[in-house]
Structure 1
Amino acid sequence: MCGRFAITLPTDAMAQLFAAQPANDLPKVPDYNVCPTRPVHAVQMGDAGRQLVAMRWGFLPQWYKSETAGPLLINARAETIAEKPAFAAAARTRRCLIPATGFYEWTKSGEGARLPWYIHRSDAAPIAFAAVWQSWGDADPVKTCAIVTTAANQGLSAIHHRMPLILEPGDWGKWLGEAGHGAARLMQPGPEGVLDFHRVDPAVNANRAAGPELIEPFGEDDIPRGQLI
């Protein structure tokens, strides 16, 4: 899954990277602790091409009467996204990309303490999560989104059995729908050797934690090193 991530890329750099027109109400960056229900940066297709816009992280199906009317849908499983009533229409026609610098996952110590790990590209390039979006509400519609996840590849499975669907630049156009059909074929675990990970300070366990120290190496890695994800 993906339940927390970091984005440090400046807004103008994100717009340039994705060749997208930026909106005026984008979240502030850097943010080292992006949490569910907060606004995130998202790249979607508009009438004039790619747009960089703000979306609420937490997909709200149209039948939700309020933001808390059902489960908090921050992730959508690639294996079932086309069948789930909440996501099926969005998977066909409302796909987007969510930029990130890295994301967090957790393991447990022998005593049951939650140990956070920061996962990032080994080449230090930005990450593009595959996602889907939905406009929710009648009076003042808000765009909401969920990150697509797949089974973890071999390297990341040492930390978690799921991982976000990460797309390479050559696949962005296909996912957004501007390069024809074939998005379904992209929903596979990422290749080995693209990501790396390290332990970070348990301070990130708190939603209000902030600052660049959250992604710095911390303590001893108790998962064998020497492997890239």
Structure 2
Amino acid sequence: MKSFITRLLSLLPCLSGLPARAADAAPAKPNIIYILADDMGYADAGFNGGKDIKTPNLDLLARGGANLKSFYVQPVCSPTRSALMTGRYPSSTGIYSVVRPHAPWGLKLEEQTLPQVLRSAGYETAISGKWHLGEFEPTYRPTQRGFDHQYGLWFGAIDYYTHLREGVLDWHRNDQPCKDEGYSTHLIAKEACRIIREKNPDKPLFLYLPFNAV
């Protein structure tokens, strides 16, 4: 089951790149980093009762934040992502199942997305990771759905090192093919750090980080 578990640990080394401001000049709008852990079970983390894997840093984050225990989530990729992007039940967005590669459909264009709303509110918006809400036409791709910056994969189930699925490259930067080499999780985190370091100092940042693996 997909679980909206925050994995901020992977970004701690680069969070210092966010500009600091004096207390009397604090920005009215906060920077937002939303991390989606793919295929992470509810009880995999220690703070939810997991005992098989030690997660001390995640447990620390949970103790210092909000641990939500009553929520609605889907067991597959695309419906969960559509709910996150729209704030609506997947049954309302028409995303009932996984959007397959090159399938002639995706998240409906009339659906307003979270990055679209935040961009209109003055945010710089970026996605580093897995989209999985349609790509068969350019209008369905991340840069047309509210993201100023895009990096990562459109589909799912790619090879983590070659970034191929059925012999086809699925790795993109701003919706153009990208042949960066390396383990996908490391590349996604590295790009997130770059975005944080190079963000527009005059705008708050919304960074969506849907990792391809836990």
Shorter-chain TM-score: what band? under 0.3
Higher strand fraction (1 or 2): 1
Larger relative contact order (Cα-Cα within 8 Å, sequence gap ≥ 6): 2
**TM superposition score normalised by structure 2:** 0.26
**TM superposition score normalised by structure 1:** 0.25
